[in-house]
Amino acid sequence: MGHETMQRDSPENALPPMTPVTDLDWDADRARELGGHVVALWGEWLDRLRSMPVGRRASAADVRAAVTRDVPTEPMPMDELVASLRTIAFDHATCTGHPGFMAYITGSGTIPGAAADLLAAALNQNVGGWRLSPAATEIELHLGRWFATKLGLPPSAGGYVTSGGAMASFVALKAARDARAGWSIRELGTRAGPPLTFYASAQVHDVNTRAADMLGMGRDAVRLIPCDDHLRMDVGALRGAITRDLRNGDQPIAVIATAGTVATGAIDPLDEIGDLCAELGLWMHVDGAYGGVAALTDSLRPLFHGIERADSVALDPHKWLYTPHSGGVIVVRDMQSLADAFAIEPSYVHDDKILTGRGLDLFALGPQFSRGFHALKIWVSLLAHGWGAYERRIAHDVALARYLHQCAATHPELETMGPAPALSIACFRYVPRDLRGDLSADPYLDRLNERLMSELQLGGRVFPSNAIINGRFVLRACIVNFRTEAEDIDALVEQAVALGRAIHNGEITGAATSVS
């Protein structure tokens, strides 16, 4: 043994020295150079935002040619790299922070949140393990408890940040499935018992049926319940559906109540649903990805009475807290339910927590093992602005939606569609004067408003989206943008009427055109 060691350590057997490879190890000065260019682009983008078009007319081929290239073997020169970033920012990005952007449910992106994202990326914390992200983990858990408290949930409640509402609802429904199945479903799977069923309104977001698919239950396991005249879940119909499934040998496990539907912002009768869930022992999940943040405010909280009874709530700060993408939040009534649904014990991450004093590892509470510090942009936005600013702005968004509804209701060439806004969504359509009251014109009006939406989106000043209400195609504005004001609502109304009239009169044909 000693002889072998002597041979290995002798000069003639010594390993050759290794040359350091430092190509990727930029020093602080080089980081400041690139970072300075990026911050300068960001500042210029903010300065020019209101004067830029919200969206542009460019095909996928046009964009691909402008922003993609072969990966170089050698480093791209700094000026060329910055020029490529400029092309992305100023020529081929949809300006979701523009005051005229009112589409889908996409927040405008807080400025403190963007700065926090830079720091989060630089720190490069893996918030799957506490030892890899001590401050990040504690901030995220604190944020989850803050949301839970604001929702009125008990001290056992908490949560964490997800990629968005879709993942938040998936996590919640996984916890619901495992808690209510009645057998060791994590080990034995769904085929070890009767078919499991969820219940949601016909207006529920499609990510919930996709969650059922991903959970091995199938999309048809989500029973879609009819809605009342205000597009809220009909609780009588819900009870009937559950009764039928029980009679047929299925096993109901959860009701998905919506706190702000994606089409109109309707809020299901949460307290009545809570009563039924308590009576039948069902898990109550609230999909509040859009509207749930409004339940945190003093002025709008009464609309969400009953949300405090939920077993889980999905929220999306990147919607109505305006934070940069992406960042949703899952909140549960009992944090233990997440451990029951997701805990694993990988052998290679041993940690003696009594010895080290380390905290909770979030990889054991959800599907992701590696997790970024996405909570920081939410946390820094709340700290930088203060909750009072959010209270005021969220209420203002609702007022703007009601203003749009009133504008449409009083205009001779517009027609309100769906219920009056409870939150910050207003729906309407263009109807030519000669077709008002003509029910046979609905198919034509659908086509007209489809074209009108495209023209508006490509025109550059305003950017609405659409909804389908009672089978009809309508224009939809969702105000979750802290830059949008009444003048932008007026611009939407004016352009909808002008372009709608031009389309109807045959003045616009062929490809969509740009309107200043």
Q: What is the DSSP string of 424-448?
A: SEEEEEE--GGGTT-GGGHHHHHHH
The CATH number given to 118-386 is: 3.40.640.10
| Burial of 434: CB neighbours in 10 Å, binned 0-12, 13-18, 19+ | exposed
Q: Is the dihedral of CA 22, 28, 34, 35 positive or negative?
A: positive
For residues 276 and 239, the answer to whether their CB atoms sit within 8 Å is yes
The answer as to CATH 3.40.50.2000 being correct for domain 388-504 is no
Per-residue confidence in pLDDT tens, the chain, 516 aa:
455 544 555 667 789 999 999 999 999 999 999 999 999 999 999 999 999 999 988 999 999 999 999 999 999 999 999 999 999 999 999 999 999 999 999 999 999 999 999 999 999 999 999 999 999 999 999 999 999 999 999 999 999 999 999 999 999 999 999 999 999 999 999 999 999 999 999 999 999 999 999 999 999 999 999 999 999 999 999 999 999 999 999 999 999 999 999 999 999 999 999 999 999 999 999 999 999 999 999 999 999 999 999 999 999 999 999 999 999 999 999 999 999 999 998 888 899 999 999 999 999 999 999 999 999 999 999 999 999 999 999 999 999 999 999 999 999 999 999 999 999 999 999 999 999 999 999 999 999 999 999 999 999 999 999 999 999 999 999 999 999 999 999 999 999 999 999 999 999 887 544 433
Helical (H) or strand (E) element with 489: helix 486-504
For residues 108 and 97, the answer to whether their CB atoms sit within 8 Å is yes
Say which amino acid occupies 172.
A
Q: What is the model's pTM?
A: 0.94
Cβ count within 10 A of residue 176: 27
| Burial of 503: CB neighbours in 10 Å, binned 0-12, 13-18, 19+ | buried
